[in-house]
Amino acid sequence: MRIALAGAGAFGLKHLDALSRIEGVEIAAIASRTMEQAREVAQKYGAPLATTDLDEVLGSDVDAVILCTPTQMHAAQSIAALRAGKHVQVEIPLADRWSDAAEVAEVARATGLTCMVGHTRRFNPSHQWLHQRIVAGELSLQHMDVQTFFFRRSNINALGQPRSWVDNLLWHHAAHTVDLFAYQSGERIVDAHVMAGPPHPELKIPMDMSIQLRSESGKLCTLALSFNNDGPLGTFFRYICDNGTYIARYDDLFTGRDDVVDVTKVAVSMDGIELQDREFIGAIREGRPPNSSIESVLDCYRILGRLQEQLDA
C-alpha cells in the first residue's frame, strides 16, 4: 500500500516512524511547507516524491494520504483527497468548525472511501485496557477527570520550533477527551459547558479552559486545559469507576494508588500512533470502517460546536 504524508512536522514524523514498522507499506510521497524539509524527510524515509504541493500528491498513484498539516487545513484537504479517490487519515482535529466537519463526513459518505480521524486516545494501550474491561462489564465509568497541560506562551511546536499556525485548546486538545469520554462511557454526551480564561494578547486564543460533560445516564467528565502550565506536560486521565480507579498517562496505566498496570499484552505495539496507523491500513485492506472513522467521531465535533457557541456568546 502506497501511503503519502502531508505535513512533515513533529507529529508527521511520528507517523512516518510508525509506518516504517508496518509490513506491506511504502512511504510514497512527502508534502511539506518547504521543499528543503520535504526533500530531507523523503530521503530519510525513502519516499520517491517530495513536494510542497498536495495536489501533486493527489494526482499521483498513492492509495492513501495521512494529513498532519495545520488544523485550519484539515477539512479542505480531507475533502480534496477524498474527491481525488484517496483514502484519508486526518490528524485530530477533523476541523475547527462544526459545519466543516459535517461537510467532510458528507463527502466521505458519497465517495465510500475510508476516512479516519486521528483520535489517538482510542488506540493507546492504557485506554484500550480500560475499554476492554468496560465493554466486558468488569468496570463502569463514573467520572473521568482529565488534565491537559502545556506551556505554550509562544507559538512553538513539540520540537521547540516556530509554528506556522496557532494551536487551539478547544478544537484540538479538548477533542481528545470529548471523544474518549463518549467512547469509554458508551453513551452520548447530553450536556456540555465551557468556561475560558482571557485570550493571549498575541496568539488571540484562550490560554486556560474548563469543560464539564454529562452522559445519558449521568456519568461525568471534568476537563481542565492550560497553555500556561509550567510543570509536567501532557494529558493525564483519571478514570473513577465503580470497581477501581485508574490513571492513564499516554501509553502507560496506573492504579489510583500509582501501582503499575501491565498493558504490554493489549496490542502488538506499545505505540499508540503505530496502532492507529495499523488500524487505518487494516480497514482499507479489509474494506471495513475503522475504529475512529469519521462517522464514529462526528458527534464529538457537534459537541465542540456547541461549546464554541457558548464561548462566542
> What cell does 21 get?
514498522
Beta strands per DSSP E along the chain: 2-6, 26-31, 49-51, 64-67, 87-91, 115-118, 141-149, 189-196, 208-215, 220-226, 234-241, 244-249, 252-255, 260-261
- Per-residue pLDDT, averaged over 240-258, amounts to 96
**What does the DSSP assignment read for 53-96?**
-HHHHHTTT-SEEEE-S-GGGHHHHHHHHHHTT-EEEEESPS-S
Supply 60's cell numbers: 499521483
How high is the pLDDT of residue 280?
A: 98
Confidence of residue 43 (pLDDT cuts 50, 70, 90): very high
DSSP code, position 27:
E
User: pTM (2 decimals)?
Assistant: 0.95
Task: Report angle CA 4, 94, 17 to the nearest 5 degrees.
Answer: 35
Question: Cα angle at 154 between 153 and 155, to 5 degrees?
Answer: 125
Angle at 12 between CA 55 and CA 224, to 5 degrees: 120
Nearest-angstrom CA–CA distance, 246 and 260: 10
Predicted pLDDT of residue 111 = 98
Residues in the chain: 313
Give φ, ψ of 290 to 5 degrees: -80, 155
User: How many other C-beta atoms lie within 10 A of the C-beta of residue 154?
Assistant: 11
Helix axes 175-185, 125-135, angle to 10 degrees: 30
Q: What are the pLDDT digits (tens) for 30-42?
A: 999 999 999 999 9
Average pLDDT of span 86-94: 98
pLDDT at residue number 164: 74
**CATH no. for 124-266:** 3.30.360.10
User: Does 159 score more than 80 pLDDT?
Assistant: no
CA–CA gap between residue 166 and residue 187 (Å, rounded): 32
Residue in this structure with the C-alpha cell 466543516, named with its chain if needed:
100
List where CATH 3.40.50.720 sits in the chain. 2-119+273-292
Predicted pLDDT of residue 194: 98
> According to the model, what pLDDT value does residue 158 have?
62
Higher pLDDT, 201 or 285: 285
Q: How far apart are CA 136 and CA 134, in angstroms?
A: 5
pLDDT digits 0-9 by tens, 95-116? 999 999 999 999 999 999 999 9
Q: For 192-219, what is each residue's pLDDT tens digit?
A: 999 999 999 888 889 999 999 999 999 9
What is the 8-class DSSP label of residue 29? E
> What is the average pLDDT value for the chain, to the nearest integer?
96
Q: What's CA 252's distance to the chain center, in Å?
A: 18
Residue 283 Rama label (left phi>0; alpha psi -120 to 50; beta): alpha
Average pLDDT over residues 261-290: 97
146, 224 contact by CB (below 8 A)? yes
> Within the chain, which residue ranges are assigned CATH 3.30.360.10?
124-266
CATH of 2-119+273-292 among 3.40.50.720, 1.10.260.40, 3.40.50.2300, 3.90.550.10: 3.40.50.720
pLDDT attached to residue 142: 98
DSSP state of 169: I
